[in-house]
Structure 1
Amino acid sequence: MVEGCESRWAEAGLARAPRISYRMNDAAALLAEPGTLAVFGFGGHAADTDDPRWLRVPLEAFDAPASLEAWQVDGPVQHGRHGALRWSAGGSWLYAALELDEREHGGPAGAARVAYAQLREFIGGRDERQVLRLWNYQGAINQGDGDTERYKLFCDGRAEGCGDWFAGGYPAATAIGHHGDPHLLQVYLLASAQAGTAVENPRQVSAWRYPRQYGRTAPGFARAMRLPAQDALAISGTAAVVGHASAHAGDTAAQLDEILINLEALLASAGMPAGFDTQAPLKAYVRHLADAPRVRERLQQRLPGVPVLLLHGDVCRSELLVELDGWRYA
């Protein structure tokens, strides 16, 4: 990012995008660095710390040792807790996270409703109230039939908890099934004092317009979000969906190739340069353990040098075997 761009952002009062990176440091060292907004560990072997900026995500990494994910911003960072909610803020950016036991809230719909209602209430009292990006990790996401599938119940509860929170437009988001505690719902977000620009993919029906076959409540998210200074694109979970239909059932390689086509279409729609580089961290969520080596190899061939965190996770439709999300900097 060139100095002239940073000067224009500052003159316009726009905050530079957080720097997202995968690091092999330990958590304490990353948390001690100036400007650290959040640090994420992955899987059951990730160390714990009481710092509110630390979160262990219940997705196992296929590569060991697993990298940590660091979010860093310009300026000092404050952090704390608000009941069960953990938060940090600095440089016009806010991180907030909640972990709930579904059994304490009547199941997946109740837990999602409570999580989003609490996040909405907390964000409403902050200057950094523009939610740009959300992550949702739910146990046994595909369990259940029809409208009783756990992901569809989550969508019902999320909409109830949100109310009219996103009436002006949805943020980017990911929803993935984890293999940790089956009752754990984990939700975290990135918000800013300034609004971003939602981006849709011309190859895909907007998620909130999905037909009834995908549940009583359509998923509420944008395909991507261009951050306020237009210096980065936050990419939602992207699967092999064309129109609104899943493509290439049972073929992991073909699904991955379709995802990469979708990502290029999304970059073009956002006015971003084509392709990904060494500063564009991605996550790949892979349903079946046996598919991980082939996904890794194919991504190394198609996206050489791009940092990819390979995680064991279930896509929200049972026929989908792999999903990508991540970041692209201008």
Structure 2
Amino acid sequence: MTLRQPYRLSTEDAPAVDAARVLLCVDHGGRDPDEPDAEAWRVRTSLPLLAGPRCEWWLSDSAVGDLGDDDVAFRANSAIGFGHLAIDETALAADTAGACRDAFERLIGVIRGAGYPHLLRCWIYLGHIHRGDGDGERYRQFCVGRARALDAIARDPRDYPAATVIGRPVDGASIHFMAARSPAQAIENPRQTSAFDYPRRYGPQPPSFVRSLRTDWGALLVSGTAAVVGADSLHPSDAGEQARETRSNIDALLHAAGNRWQNERAVIYLRRAEDLAAAERLGLSGAITVLQGDICRPELMIECEGVFRLA
């Protein structure tokens, strides 16, 4: 049985809504992320906006409660919650893996304590993602820290959340997330090796995420998807061909999920602003935002994530 969707997703700049019913507002661009917001429910990504809506509002039809703490903001209705937290650059520079493990442990502590134990979706915007060499690269050390926290609660890799990790041009890291009272079903991509099974050449710890999650309210939460077939990056540095391959991966994932799906929301990330035309080659409909950010592998130029719903 498909349940009623527990949120409403809007991409208006300023929808007419009662603040008591805002689960989260994701604001791309704007002021420095270290400048505090008056609203605990707003998070800024600090990724340059290239095209499309700037804001992403996750709204509730019923009043929400503030269930977070001093470090982790978390607002929820009776079924689902959204939250966010930050990692300071000083902590990242001193011990990337340790700082990321601590952040995810704090996040997990809040959602489990509030009664929303299922972490469904994470978005991570990591400053200076390629800083460091070899296994010391910041992204690889982030993967180590995230896994140490998630493996303490995941019985199986398919219990991991759907996720996106993108590099941003400012210090520190921002994490925002979706958690629910009930679990979702992991759907992997037949064209791709599961990220949690990547070979050692991509780092000491494979990334801890699933390709997508199918929820009990009929949504498919698609992780950041790029031109990776098997475990290999295809068409290095060619944004146009990577866009074509990325679309093939998304189509394969939608087919694997069964039923017919339509895009409700997509975010496309480009390493280079001059590759904006490549985003159009994805051929997606719905509300689409294009941002500039660094993909997790240096040879990847484009990545796309989405929220799909049953057609």
Task: Report the TM-score, using the length of structure 2 for normalisation.
Answer: 0.91
Corresponding residue of 2:126: 138
> Counterpart in 1 of 2:114?
126
Residue matched to 2:176: 188
Structure 1 match to 2:27? 41
36-45 or 103-112, larger mean C-alpha shift: 103-112
Moved over 3 A (4+): 44-49
CA-to-partner distance for each residue in 1:207-240, whole Å, 9 max, x for gaps? 11000001110001000001123x1100000000
Pairs within 5 Å for 1:127-166: 127-166=115-154
Q: Which residue matches 2:271?
A: 287
Counterpart residue number, 1:308: 288
Equivalent residue, structure 2, for 1:251: 238
Aligned length: 305
**Counterpart-to-counterpart distance in 2, 1:297 and 1:135:** 23
Deviations 1:282-303 (A, max 9, x none): 00000012112x134434xx23
Q: Structure 1 residues 329, 201: closer, same or farther in 2, change over 3 A?
A: same
Of residues 310-319 and 42-51 in structure 1, the stretch that sits farther from structure 2 once superposed is: 42-51
Distance (Å, rounded) in 2 between the aligned partners of 1:33 and 1:117: 28
Aligned with 1:205 (options 183, 193, 214): 193
**Displacement of 1:136:** 1.0
DSSP-derived class of the 1:281 partner: strand
Structure-1 separation of matches of 2:50 and 2:114: 37
What is the root-mean-square deviation of aligned Cα atoms in Å?
A: 2.0
Q: Deviation per CA, 1:188-219, whole angstroms, max 9, x where unpaired? A: 21011111101100000001100000111000
Instruction: Give 5+ residue unaligned stretches, structure 2.
Output: none
Could you tell me the TM-score, scaled by structure 1's length? Answer: 0.86
* Matching residue of 2:91: 104
Q: Name the counterpart of 1:82.
A: 69
**Would the aligned equivalents of 1:96 and 1:188 in 2 still touch at CA under 8 Å?**
yes
Q: How far off its partner does 1:73 sit?
A: 2.8
**Share of identical aligned residues, percent?**
34
Letter in 1 for 2:278: V
Residue equivalent to 1:223: 211
**Residue 247 of structure 1, CA deviation:** 0.5
Query: How big is the shift at 1:122?
Result: 1.4
**Does the 8 Å CA contact 2:150/2:160 hold for their aligned counterparts?**
no
**Conserved? CA contact 2:67–2:76, under 8 Å:** no
1:170 to 152, 160, 172: 160
Contact map agreement 1:147 1:216 (CA 8 A) in 2: yes
Q: For residues 324 and 18 of structure 1, what CA distance do their matches in structure 2 show?
A: 22
The answer for the alignment partner of 1:113 in structure 2 is 101
Q: Is the 8 A contact 2:67 2:114 kept in 1?
A: no
Task: Give, in angstroms, the shift of residue 80 of structure 1.
Answer: 5.2
Aligned pair partner of 1:233 in 210, 216, 220: 220
Moved more, 208-217 or 89-98: 89-98
Gapped runs of 5+ residues in structure 1? 1-7
Q: Which amino acid aligns with 2:169?
A: H
How far apart, in 2, do the equivalents of 1:257 and 1:17 lie? 33
* Bigger Cα displacement from structure 2, 84-93 vs 237-246: 84-93
Q: For residue 27 of structure 2, what is the amino acid of its counterpart?
A: G
Contact kept? 1:48, 1:56, Cα under 8 Å: no
The more displaced of 39-48 and 252-261 is 39-48
For the 8 Å contact 1:73–1:93, the answer to whether it is kept is no
Distance in structure 1 (CA, Å) of the matches to 2:58 and 2:173: 22
Q: Secondary structure at the match of 2:174?
A: strand
Is the CA contact 2:8–2:61 (under 8 Å) kept in the aligned structure 1? no
* Partner AA of 2:100 in structure 1: A
CA distance in structure 2 between the partners assigned to 1:157 and 1:114 by the alignment: 8
> How many angstroms apart in 2 are the aligned matches of 1:80 and 1:195?
20
Aligned residues of 1:21 and 1:281 also touching (Cα < 8 A)? no
